[in-house]
Amino acid sequence: MKITGIRLGTLSVPLRVPFKTALRTVERVEDVIVAVLTDTGAVGYGEAPPTGVITGDTTGAIVGAIRDHIGKSIIGRDVDELEEVLQTIQRCIVKNTSAKAAVDMAVWDLYGQLYRIPVYKLMGGARKQIVTDITISVNDPEEMARDAVNALSRGYGCLKVKVGANPALDVARLTAIREVAGPEIKIRIDANQAWKPKEAVKLLNQMQEKGLDLEFVEQPVAAHDLEGLRYVTERSYVSVLADESVFSPEDAVRIMERRAADFINIKLMKCGGLYNALKIASAAEIYGVECMIGCMLEAKISVNAAVAIACAKNIITKVDLDGPVLCSEDPIQGGAVFREKDITVSDLPGLGIQGIDPAYIRWMS
């Protein structure tokens, strides 16, 4: 199965409601789509969201990296040489992890199709179903409590709340949510690097003393500040999950070696795809550090690849893959089935994506 070409396009899917964090408000998912074509007629699909604020990857940069570097390096190669092709994707250009992730998942998709095996089975095949949390958009406390009630009525048992800009308001928001959620529901928070280490310890311990009972905090301090991250992990009553601090497998090892975090968040767009995500998962197994699988604001093609690794590996115990359920429509045929919190992996060969509704995609070539 030889790679004969790459098609690039942009996918646009409206969200159910605008997604608000302290930094931005987003109304649509607008992602780059890649279709890797082969001489057998098999097509492998990939997707990359331009999340400049986290990965530095913009739409133009993703398109340029794939068209001018990654594509040129793998066209003419045989999918059967999986290891070679995956390493070429990583080595032909530095950084550009979102572009690499999109092509990497498309190649895995093709390799699974070639040998007629679902990719999650190829990588381990631990289970067929996983359960995701859902993010509650940042609003005033009453509205967030209403959104939480709505999420609970839809069956969610784990809520994720973005915090950081205003500590007093954060406590009011979380208190309002904990009141309506009761003691059984899990609440995890994501500070997206908002705090200084000492401030983080003080705020987190105050939150626990108020009875908020937080499951963990994501990335309380700046991404580069591993000493600060360790400071919080050692002193806070709330467990710490490293997100923006972990892009590469090397980052993950550095953090686990220093015990700078309790958990690691794997995102395909940060690490450059399944090839490196598997390395992070393997390292985490050695250190005994449980992982979460997360996503950006993504539609179903790339989240589907994240579902495959989450279903493959037991070390991934936490799931934050609410991208597709935040979308108001699903223009992707095939792949994992998302029924609110319950996600079932596709048992079709490869990653199981069958096609994209042409009304939602603009192909560039």
Closest approach of Cβ 358 to Mg ion, in Å?
33
Buried b / exposed e along 165-185 (16+ C-beta atoms within 10 A): eebeebbebbebbbeebeeeb
Alpha helices in the chain (DSSP H): 52-55, 59-65, 71-74, 82-91, 97-114, 119-122, 141-153, 167-181, 197-209, 226-235, 249-257, 268-271, 274-287, 300-312, 323-326
Q: Which stretch binds Mg ion (CB under 5 A): 49-57, 108-116, 235-243, 347-355?
A: 235-243
Binding string, residues 98-137; x marks residues near Mg ion by CB under 5 A: ----------------------------------------
Catalytic residue among 160, 267, 313, 341: 267
Establish whether 162 is a catalytic residue.
yes
Establish whether 270 is a catalytic residue.
no
Q: Which stretch binds Mg ion (CB under 5 A): 20-28, 111-119, 230-238, 242-250?
A: 242-250
Indicate whether 322 belongs to the interface with Mg ion (CB under 5 A). Answer: no
* Tokens of residue 330, six digits: 């699903």
Burial class (CB in 10 A: 0-12, 13-18, 19+), 364: exposed
SS3 243: coil
Indicate whether 298 belongs to the interface with Mg ion (CB under 5 A). Answer: no
Indicate whether 190 belongs to the interface with Mg ion (CB under 5 A). Answer: yes
* Tokens of residue 292, six digits: 């979460």
Buried b / exposed e along 191-225 (16+ C-beta atoms within 10 A): bbbbbebeebbebbeebeeeebebbbbbbbbbbeb
Catalytic residue among 100, 160, 162, 300: 162
Q: Is 146 left (phi over 0), alpha (psi -120 to 50) or beta?
A: alpha
215 versus 243: smaller Cβ distance to Mg ion: 243
Closest approach of Cβ 294 to Mg ion, in Å?
6
**How far is the C-alpha of 80 from the C-alpha of 26, rounded, in Å?**
40
Q: Which stretch binds Mg ion (CB under 5 A): 39-47, 241-249, 298-306, 349-357?
A: 241-249
Binding string, residues 200-219; x marks residues near Mg ion by CB under 5 A: ------------------x-
**How far is the C-alpha of 230 from the C-alpha of 197, rounded, in Å?**
9
70 versus 296: smaller Cβ distance to Mg ion: 296
Among 31, 47, 57, 243, contact with Mg ion (rule: CB under 5 A): 243
Distance, C-alpha 317 to centroid of its chain: 14
Site residue total, Mg ion (CB under 5 A) = 3
133 versus 243: smaller Cβ distance to Mg ion: 243
47 versus 218: smaller Cβ distance to Mg ion: 218
Would you please indicate which residues are annotated as catalytic (active-site) residues? 162, 267
Task: Name the residues that contact Mg ion, by CB under 5 A.
Answer: 190, 218, 243
